[in-house]
Structure 1
């Protein structure tokens, strides 16, 4: 979940700075473990939207 929240914060910062970017619609925990270098992390999905 940590990397998803970090990505959300960076995209919101970019939008606040006037950089055209996608926006987060939802961040949802999956309940699954994702195995990375740090071991098992809580899985999550970030849903994004963009102007068309």
Structure 2
């Protein structure tokens, strides 16, 4: 499975699929989205740890 780890690549692929939606219709859009993005593993590095903030109701 191909892996994508660049936000710029994702942005380009989404732009291309939206272009397909505007010019070729919904069926072509879904096919393009599936083939260009959904069949790939998308990985983003986590830059900062996520902190869970717990605040009990008083």
TM over 0.5: no
Bigger CA radius of gyration = 2
The TM-score normalised by the length of structure 2 is 0.37
Structure (1/2) with the larger helix percentage? 2
Structure (1/2) with the larger strand percentage? 1
Q: Which has the higher contact order (CA 8 A, sep 6+)?
A: 2
The TM-score normalised by the length of structure 1 is 0.40
